[in-house]
Structure 1
Amino acid sequence: MFPQNRRPDAEVILVNTAGGITGGDQFDLDICVMTNAGLTLTTQAAERAYRAQSGEIGRVTTKLSVQTGARLNWLPQELILYDSCALRRRLDISLDEEARFLMVEPVVFGRAAMREDLRGVMFQDRIKITRNGTPRYIDGLDLIGDAAAHLASPAIANGAGAMASVVLVAPDAGSHLSSARAALPSSAGASMLAEDVLVIRQLASDSFELRRSLVPILEQLTQNNLPTSWRL
């Protein structure tokens, strides 16, 4: 969907007409932002990884290319993992010289309102950002089996029910470090991987608390151009 807005960038809302992802589903997305263009991508609501049949795995593969002088905000809403889900997800971002990229990837471990514990899941997540073919950020997560027990460990998530990664790759990324740290809760941290790569990691008790602290950060990094769907 292409909503009308008064923002400088074009906006796209991705809609999953299936309502969620289960074993055997396969989704592929390939987007290119052309030279000097601007695009913000989000989703209509939280994505859901539903219970899968034994031996079946859902797959989501996304490839994003940002050409010289262009900017892309990749701002999907939360991915909610359900008990017994099976999902492999891959996100590859290719940046040209002087391209600007902002990403948020929030994940919710079960529905807090339903008191759901994840006792048997398979979630594999891979993210790779390159500029001119050179890696700038590589991340991977494997959550298999009794996720609730893993997440309860103080060395892993200390009982958190949600997490998010925020990455900004831009020439002025370092100018946001101090203000980001000042706005983050004690369960989050921000650091510079390189002079143009700002990374924020955040844990929260549930999706509400996660979003409450994420929105001000994303407002800052998008220069108050956060999509309306993030405020609902």
Structure 2
Amino acid sequence: MTLHMRKDRTGEAAPAASLPRARGTLDLSTKSRADQSAIDGLRTSGCLRALFPRRQAGVEAIVINTSGGLTGGDRLDLAATAGHGSHLTLTTQAAERAYKASSDIARVQTRLEAGADASLHWLPQELILFEGARLRRRLRADLASDARLLLVEPVIFGRSAMGEHLHDVRFDDRIEVWRGGSPLYLDSVQLDGDLEARMRRPALGGGAGAMASLVYVAPDAEAHLAALRPMLPETCGVSLMREDLLILRMLARDSLNLRRSLLPVLDRLSRDTLPTSWRL
């Protein structure tokens, strides 16, 4: 059988149909009811889903991307709100993967809100960048004056155990934390090109194959500083930016060492309520 491409009126072959791209939205909110946290609203569409394990305190949501990863042209939008007096924890079922993009870039937009006397934990598992990945991420958290936030974003630069090397990657990442309409923390990471060569530079990565950023906003932030410092490897720094704002940046040789260093920190700051998916 012979297949012929349709020609337009000019006699030129029509371009092949564009590949399907993943679209997903998730909108979740919680409320306080009889001294317990409960789901107030939930809407999902496309490739984003959520599971809710039973917890004694707060609502835990496991976000699932059913498309199996991110590639050029994909678009994910997630919004989560911890309402007045409630506690909400969000995590992921497994590591997210950013695959090679044949065209365009993948876009992930996350918007978090925590109301008065609310607590919000954003604890996704690792993002793994593959060779040829093109990814733009934006995360913004808006907090009430007395809200608490624990936020972590771990990133893996290829799987070293699989012999992967990253020589052509574009990663544009931005994290914003606002409180009362004013910026509390702004951080931007832009990595473009030969990532392996750039991370070998002593002033940038010193050969690291993984990194993590952590933000902790709570009245007891200062009390954790002295306890955390002895727990951390030499490739990690933690600072108290203000009495209620703790910032941590970690580099590691690979994903295993990153997780080993992160787990005790997250256990302490989450008061031993880290989602079970982090242990699997």
Q: Give the TM-score taking structure 1 as reference length.
A: 0.98
CA distance in 1, matches of 2:253, 2:145: 39
> Counterpart of 2:68 in structure 1: which amino acid?
G
Counterpart selection for 1:44 from 79, 93, 100: 93
Aligned to 1:59: 107
Structure 1's unaligned 5+ residue stretches are none
Q: Number of paired residues?
A: 230
Aligned to 1:178: 226
Matches within 5 A, 1:79-228: 79-228=127-276
CA distance in 2, matches of 1:98, 1:40: 17
Structure 2's unaligned 5+ residue stretches are 1-50
CA distance in 1, matches of 2:181, 2:279: 35
> Counterpart of 1:219 in structure 2: which amino acid?
D
CA distance in 2, matches of 1:215, 1:39: 19
Aligned to 1:73: 121
Structure of higher CA gyration radius? 2
How far apart are 1:194 and its partner, in Å? 1.2
Alignment of 1:4 with 2:54, yes or no, is yes
CA distance in 1, matches of 2:198, 2:251: 14
Aligned to 1:18: 67
RMSD of aligned C-alpha atoms?
A: 0.6
Aligned to 2:279: 231
How far apart are 1:149 and its partner, in Å? 0.6
CA distance in 2, matches of 1:157, 1:133: 34
CA distance in 2, matches of 1:224, 1:96: 24
Question: 4+ runs of 1 displaced by more than 3 Å?
Answer: none
CA distance in 1, matches of 2:113, 2:102: 34
3-state SS, counterpart of residue 161 of structure 2? helix
Tell me which moved more, 72-81 or 112-121: 112-121
CA distance in 1, matches of 2:229, 2:79: 33
Q: Among the aligned pairs, what percent are the same residue? A: 53
> Counterpart of 2:177 in structure 1: which amino acid?
I
Deviations 1:131-171 (A, max 9, x none): 00111100000000001110000000000000001110111
3-state SS, counterpart of residue 23 of structure 1? coil
CA distance in 2, matches of 1:110, 1:133: 37
Deviations 1:184-217 (A, max 9, x none): 0111011011111101111000000000010010
CA distance in 2, matches of 1:136, 1:62: 17
Q: Give the TM-score taking structure 2 as reference length.
A: 0.81
Flag the structure with more relative contact order, 1 or 2, with Cα contacts below 8 A and sequence separation at least 6. Answer: 1
